[in-house]
Amino acid sequence: MGEGIILGNKILDVVFVALFVAQALKVVISFFTEKTLNFRYFLNPGNMPSSHTSSVTALATSIAILEGINSSMFAFALVFTVVVMYDAAGVRRAAGKQAEVLNKIVNNIKKKEGHVIIEQNLRELVGHTPLEVFAGAILGVIIAFLMC
């Protein structure tokens, strides 16, 4: 299988690079869309592309390349990948939309009655659109093929 040069494990190296590249791309993409360089996007869980998805697809693809698609590890990684992708585009995205609605309700109460219910708004951007998940998946597969 060969040893990795970053973390000492080739598969972990691929996952790390996929995660890093996805997060770095968020900064680059935000620069072009917002015309300002905002490094906070590097630590953001949302936006384009999904780093969760790029990581797990890089994991599954690396295992497929290095250990074969008939291996138990690939089966495990594939199921794990599908769960993470579903969570990113489904559950976490729904939670973000619910946070947006709750923030509006709290802000309306604060404006009308002056009560402070919570000190800080809930994080709204926690999930991904299907396009962001798809882009993360493509990125993870490409990085795995380039590195393996």
The total domain count for the chain is 1
Contact 51, 19 (CB under 8 A): yes
Is residue 111, in this structure, part of any structural domain at all? no
The reported pLDDT for the residue numbered 81 is 97
Q: 13-59, pLDDT tens digit by residue? A: 999 999 999 999 999 998 888 888 888 878 877 788 999 999 999 99
Is residue 3, in this structure, part of any structural domain at all? no
CA 53 to CA 45: how far, in whole Å?
11
Is residue 35, in this structure, part of any structural domain at all? yes
Of 60, 56, 110, nearest in space to 87 by CA: 56
Is residue 48, in this structure, part of any structural domain at all? yes
Is residue 54, in this structure, part of any structural domain at all? yes
The reported pLDDT for the residue numbered 11 is 95
pTM of the model: 0.75
Alpha helices in the chain (DSSP H): 10-34, 51-67, 72-86, 92-113, 130-147
Domain hosting 34: range is 10-94+128-147
Is residue 41, in this structure, part of any structural domain at all? yes
Q: 97-128, pLDDT tens digit by residue? A: 666 665 566 666 666 666 666 666 655 455 67
| Mean predicted confidence (pLDDT) in 122-135 | 74
Is residue 120, in this structure, part of any structural domain at all? no
Contact 5, 24 (CB under 8 A): no
